[in-house]
């Protein structure tokens, strides 16, 4: 039973990683596609490749997710907690994908862990959540917005006397690199979250001691995320690339560069599992605000923020319900 549960958790974790990829593909490439710097298929191939590379660049975020959100539950019943957390995160990812809302897969997973832990009467590390999740969740969009606004203002001032057509062509080329940097940051951040959950399951099942991520876990998580990214997330891509604000190449470059910088800083310096979705969305709003406030479709932005606020509690609720339903299944009711 324990081995079967471990394998089930790993398969479901990789399924979550895949949904993370197609749900968050827009994070890396929506701005480049909307400004026609890259074709959709070329952008997806580039993003998938950079996701794959980024996943191998660190495991600090994975250790935070694996050991810093909840106390590792024990035995087969503990594996049900991890499984329910993943199911809750997948359910919320699919709901927000269906409505084209760029919510956070990272926070869906964290909400799932918290909800499943509460439903099973396991310990939630509230201090860790405050330090590594809530504070970065509030601060990173503010930083992304402010830096993007400043960078875009500087670009406008530097190129104020340049030929607009030539400037757009130059930044369209530059966006190839900024989009790649953003995709690398997405792989660095988001693949690690799945690594952390698989590692947690291995610890709970007694298959390893400590939360160091094994090499095969990195390979599987990186591959699943890259495959999901290549599958694309067209609904969310339209929202992020066109519906919030109409972007030109300099704006796309500024938004992607700032978002990538925030992702690298939080991953390497703080090991904080921040949302790539929130980071790039806030940067897009920041560059859009340099035109005029009315250039941003604040109604769409408001719907996105609402999804951000609801993600952790709703994914937690879905995970708690999943935990209850799993206990009704034959063979699991006694756990």
Residues with Cβ within 8 Å of residue 247, at least 6 apart in sequence = 31, 34, 35, 241, 255, 284, 287, 288
Confidence of residue 43 (pLDDT cuts 50, 70, 90): confident
* Bridge partners of residue 124, in order along the sequence: 70
Is residue 294 pLDDT above 80, yes or no? no
Under the banding of pLDDT at 50, 70 and 90, the label for residue 75 is: confident
Q: State residue 153's pLDDT score.
A: 96
Q: Is the pLDDT of residue 291 over 90?
A: no
Domain ranges of the chain: 1-328
Choose between 93 and 244: higher pLDDT: 93
Distance separating alpha carbons of residues 146 and 143, to the nearest angstrom: 5
Q: What percent of the chain has a predicted confidence (pLDDT) above 90?
A: 51
**pTM of the entire structure?**
0.86
Q: Whole-angstrom Cα distance, residue 333 to residue 335?
A: 6
Better-predicted residue by pLDDT, 98 or 219: 219
State the CB neighbour count (10 A cutoff) for residue 79.
25
Residue-level pLDDT at 27: 64
What does the pLDDT read at residue 331?
67
Residue pair 38/46 in contact (Cβ under 8 Å)? The answer is yes
What pLDDT band is residue 1 in, cutting at 50, 70 and 90?
low
């Amino acid at each position: 039973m324990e081995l079967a549960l471990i394998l089930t958790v790993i398969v479901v974790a990789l399924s979550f990683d895949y949904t993370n990829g197609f749900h968050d593909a827009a994070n890396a490439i929506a701005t480049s596609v909307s400004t026609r710097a890259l074709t959709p298929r070329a952008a997806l191939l580039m993003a998938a490749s950079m996701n794959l590379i980024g996943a191998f660049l660190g495991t600090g975020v994975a250790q935070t997710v694996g050991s810093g959100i909840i106390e590792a539950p024990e035995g087969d019943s503990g594996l049900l907690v991890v499984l329910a957390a993943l199911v809750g995160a997948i359910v919320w990812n699919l709901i927000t994908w269906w409505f084209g809302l760029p919510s956070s897969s990272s926070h869906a997973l964290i909400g799932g862990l918290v909800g499943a832990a509460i439903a099973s009467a396991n310990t939630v590390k509230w201090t860790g959540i405050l330090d590594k999740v809530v504070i970065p969740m509030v601060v990173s969009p503010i930083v992304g917005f402010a830096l993007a606004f400043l960078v875009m203002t500087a670009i406008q001032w530097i190129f104020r006397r340049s030929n607009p057509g030539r400037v757009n062509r130059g930044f369209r080329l530059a966006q190839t690199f900024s989009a790649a940097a953003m995709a690398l940051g997405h792989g660095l951040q988001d693949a690690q979250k799945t690594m952390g959950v698989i590692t947690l399951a291995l610890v709970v099942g007694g298959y390893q001691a400590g939360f160091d991520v094994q090499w095969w876990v990195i390979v599987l998580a990186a591959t699943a995320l890259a495959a999901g990214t290549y599958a694309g997330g067209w609904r969310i891509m339209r929202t992020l690339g066109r519906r919030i604000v109409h972007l030109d190449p300099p704006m796309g470059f500024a938004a992607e560069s700032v978002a990538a910088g925030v992702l690298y800083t939080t991953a390497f310096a703080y090991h904080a599992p921040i949302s790539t979705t929130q980071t790039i969305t806030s940067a897009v709003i920041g560059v859009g605000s340099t035109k005029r406030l009315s250039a941003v479709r604040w109604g769409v932005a408001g719907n996105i923020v609402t999804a951000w606020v609801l993600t952790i509690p709703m994914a937690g609720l879905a995970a708690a319900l999943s935990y209850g339903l799993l206990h009704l299944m034959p063979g699991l009711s006694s756990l």
